[in-house]
Amino acid sequence: MGFHWKMRQLLVFAILCAPLCAASSEYERALEFYSHTDYQASLNLLLPVQNKAAAERALIGQNYFMLGDTKHATEFFQQAVAAEPNNSVYYHWLGRAFGRRAEMGNPFTALGYASKARQNFEKAVELDPKNSEAINDLFEFYLEAPGFMGGGMDKAAKAAERIAELNAAEGDYARARIEEKHKDYHRAEQHLRRAMELAPRQVGRVIDLAKFLAKQGRFEESEQTFVAAEKLAPDAPKVKYARAATYIETRRNIEKARELLEKYLASSLTPDDPSREEAQKLLRQVSGG
C-alpha cells in the first residue's frame, strides 16, 4: 500500500482548528515547524501542553508519523478520534498510521493492522464523502490488498469512480492504475495522458507519465517527459526525487541519480515531498552504504 500525504491536508487541519489556533500560540508555532518538516521541534512544543485539544493530539500524531514512529502516531490519532468522533480527517490519519504499521510489521501483526487501516479509511469516507485524500488512500488499499484483507478490483473500480466525481484528472490516474494491474499498458498510458491534459499545470501528472514510461523501458520518452516536468516546475524538489528514484529503479544513470538526491536533500522541503529519510536511504543504496 502506498500511502501518501498532501499539503492541502495541512490546510484542512488549519481550517478545522481555527478556534484553537487563535488561543494556542504553541499550536500555531508547532504547525509552522511541521510545515517546514521540523517535526521534532513541533513535538517539543506540543508534548508539554496540558489538556491537549483534539487538533493538538492529531498534529502530534502527524509529527510522529512523519518521523516513522507509527506506534506513538497511532496512539495520538486514536486520542484525537475519541475526542472528535465525527472528524473525517482524524480517522483518515489513523488509517494511514495503521497502514504504515501493516507495511512495516511482521506477518502475524500485518493482517490486523491492514484491516484497521481499511476500516478507518472507510469511516473517514463515510463521515465526509468529499474527503478526497481518504478516498485516494482507500482506493490504494482496495487496489493492492487481496480479497481476504478486504481489497479487490471491483471495490477499487468503484472507488476510482468516486475519485473521478471529485477530480477528473485524479480519476484518470486511478483508472490508469487499474489498467496497469490488468496489464493493459496502452489504456493505462491513455489515462495518464488524459490526466495531464485535464491538469496541465500539475507537475505530479507529468511525473506519473515519466515514471510509467520508464517502467515500460521507454527511457528516451521518459527522459523527455522528466525534462517537461522540470520546465513546468523548475524548483520543485519532488521532480528531482522522482527522477532519481526512477533511475535507481531501472538501474541506469546512477551517478546522475546520486547528484539529484544530493540536490534534493539540500532543498527546502514540505510534508508534501518524500521524506529526507527516504532520500537518504536511496542515496546510501547508490553509494554502497
State residue 287's pLDDT score: 86
> CB 289: neighbour CB atoms within 10 A?
8
The string of pLDDT tens digits covering residues 220-248 is 999 999 999 999 999 899 999 999 999 99
What domains can you pick out in the chain, each with its CATH number?
1-128 (1.25.40.10)
Q: List the alpha helices (DSSP H) in 236-288.
A: 237-249, 254-265, 276-287
State residue 288's pLDDT score: 75
Q: How far apart are CA 125 and CA 165, in angstroms?
A: 14
- The model's pTM: 0.89
Please provide the DSSP assignment of 116-180 as one string: HHHHHHHHHHHH-TT-HHHHHHHHHHHHHS-GGGT--HHHHHHHHHHHHHH-HHHHHHHHHHHHH
Residues of the chain with pLDDT under 70: 1-24, 289
> CB 146: neighbour CB atoms within 10 A?
9
Q: How far apart are CA 114 and CA 46, in angstroms?
A: 29
Q: How far apart are CA 81 and CA 90, in angstroms?
A: 6
C-alpha distances (whole Å) from 216 to each of 175, 179, 208 are 18, 14, 13
Are residues 164 and 171 in contact, defined by beta-carbon separation less than 8 angstroms?
A: yes
Tell me, rounded to whole angstroms, the distance of Cα 70 from its chain centroid.
15
Q: How far apart are CA 69 and CA 67, in angstroms?
A: 6
The string of pLDDT tens digits covering residues 122-147 is 999 999 999 999 999 999 999 999 99
